Amino acid sequence: MTPLGDRFKKMVGKTRFVVCRLFLHLAGSEVAPLLGTLNQAARTVIEAGDGDLDLMGEQLVNICQQLLQYDGYWMSAANEGDVVWDEGEAADYFNELFTDSAQRYLAEPEAVTEADDAFSIPITQNIVVMITLAVEGEVPELETNLADASAMVEALKAIINLHYQQRLRGIQVHYSPARLGDELTNDQLLQNFPELIPF
């Protein structure tokens, strides 16, 4: 049953937006190749250069499918968000979550320098993926506690469907570490991602 406020706003024609961010922590010696998928998606979007939401959605689908394939490495998760009825307010909250994600430990890619030695690159044992979304309408799969593996599976599948339903209004993906060769230690994980709840 929808809250009274939701029903009233539907009657007066207001648009409902869900703005949310999910965190998914993966761990193990096999998770590092996921950075390749994440960086390829980022490169594809950056090279397009015009903020093409459809292209961003396609890359998000690839990321979600890859995360679903890596479900054996999921360790912990968290999510946050809100429902708003004003597009400007939704944009402001989306930008707030975006800024916070970008400031997390090693969440921004850096240029690879000539001094980087491919033969001595440490392999991270931890990756945290942060997906921030603005969605039009109701999304029960995202409007729930995602610190549960089965709920996270449903949330990732819902995100894929939201792209095909053309309901995504904002998409941003951050990840830590942001490039091969950087490490996210267990101590750094606790310090920079305190909201994570083990599955």
Tally DSSP H helices, then E strands, for the chain: 6, 5
- 156 inside domain: yes
What's the pTM value of the predicted model, to 2 decimals? 0.88
Instruction: Tell me the average confidence (pLDDT) per consecutive run of 10 residues in the chain, 199 residues long.
Output: 54 81 95 89 85 92 97 97 94 95 74 45 86 96 96 98 96 89 89 95
- Contacts with 126 (C-beta within 8 Å, 6 or more apart), sequence order: 25, 26, 27, 31, 183, 184, 185, 186, 189
- 101 inside domain: yes
Packing angle between helix 34-48 and helix 53-69, nearest 10 degrees?
180
Residue 139, pLDDT score: 96
Packing angle between helix 53-69 and helix 149-164, nearest 10 degrees?
150
- 92 inside domain: yes
- 4 inside domain: no
The boundaries of the domain holding residue 139 are: 31-109+124-198
- 5 inside domain: no
**Which residue, 132, 116, 112, 96, is CA-closest to 178?**
112
Q: How many domains does the chain have?
A: 1
Residue 56, pLDDT score: 94
- 181 inside domain: yes
Residue 11, pLDDT score: 47
Contact 93, 85 (CB under 8 A): no
- 96 inside domain: yes
**CA 62 to each of CA 35, 85, 94, 149, 184: distance values in angstroms, whole numbers, following the listed order:** 13, 30, 22, 19, 23
Residue 20, pLDDT score: 98
- 157 inside domain: yes
pLDDT in tens, 152-194: 999 999 999 999 999 999 999 999 998 777 889 999 999 999 9
Residue 150, pLDDT score: 97
Q: Give the Cα separation of 147 and 157 in Å (integer).
A: 16
> What is the per-residue burial (b if ≥16 Cβ within 10 Å, else e) of 76-86?
bbbbebebbee
**Which residue, 102, 122, 101, is CA-closest to 179?**
122
Residue 116, pLDDT score: 46
Contact 74, 26 (CB under 8 A): yes
